[in-house]
Amino acid sequence: MNNLGRNSVILALIVLGVVFTREAAAADALVPHDESVYGVKALVDMACSKCHGQTGVSISPLFPILAAQQPSYIEMELQLFRQRSRGDPHARAFMWGIARALDDDQIEALAQYFSSQPRVSVRAAKDPALAAKGKSIYENGVPERDILGCIGCHGPNAEGIHTFPRLAGQHRDYLAIQLEQFNGRRSNGQLRESEIMHRFTQNITEDEIAAVTEYLASK
């Protein structure tokens, strides 16, 4: 190859390198494409633990507890965040940027990691009477107001089933926010899930949300 040809190739490689670097930076700097950070521990340390805790037990009630969560649910949600299909405010503010650089293997590894962590210790209900009311709503709904029970999708112990999440032991405030958002049809890219949850929550009152979340947080 003559000097002119060699110089042309070098110039082309430099241009491609600049373009690639710009695109990679625009994609996301939170989860860089580097073999040294592909491992699940590094991903948790670098990104997840800041909000969800090292073992998936978040301190802030704004962020869900992921420990012992259903792995299929975690995978589904991370994929939706990556696709920007889940559009609630917290998804936009936090998870869109973090998830968009994750590949399928990383998503599966994170789901397995958090699902294998021990669940939070059972916490006594702050208001036992309110929790008892919540238990009744969770199991039976409120038939006279066309509110369906939760047990069919989330399990007898609120442990979750496949892509229906574990609710037992979750933060009260986080659960309340999600129920209120589903009441207004949370945009999450999964029409079936949105429709089901809207159907379950469209007639629920604030007092009933308080009761259900009190019960679930103490499970």
Mean pLDDT for the stretch of residues 179-208:
75
Contacts of 82 (CB under 8 A, 6+ apart): 99, 100, 102, 107
CATH number of 29-115, picked from 1.10.340.30, 3.20.20.70, 3.90.230.10, 1.10.760.10: 1.10.760.10
* Three-class SS state of 147: strand
Answer yes or no: is pLDDT of 32 > 50: no
pLDDT on residue 193: 62
Checking if the pLDDT of 211 tops 70, the result is: yes
Cα–Cα distance for residue pair 32/101, rounded to 1 Å: 8
For 128-217, CATH number?
A: 1.10.760.10
pLDDT value of residue 13:
34
Pinpoint the residues of the chain covered by CATH 1.10.760.10: 29-115, 128-217
Is the predicted pLDDT of residue 50 greater than 90, yes or no? yes
How many Å apart are CA 148 and CA 132, to the nearest integer? Answer: 17
Could you tell me if 139 and 151 are in contact, meaning their C-beta atoms sit under 8 angstroms apart? Answer: yes
- Which pLDDT band, with edges at 50, 70 and 90, does 194 fall under? low
Instruction: Please tell me the distance from the alpha carbon of residue 160 to that of residue 195, in angstroms, as a whole number.
Output: 18
CA atoms within 13 A on the CB side of 212: 29
Burial (CB count <10 Å: 0-12, 13-18, 19+), residue 9: exposed
- Mean pLDDT, residues 10-19: 35
In this prediction, residue 70 carries a pLDDT of 98
pLDDT at 28 over 70: no
- Residue 187 is predicted with a pLDDT of 53
Q: Is the pLDDT of residue 87 over 90?
A: no
Q: Is the pTM of this model over 0.85?
A: no
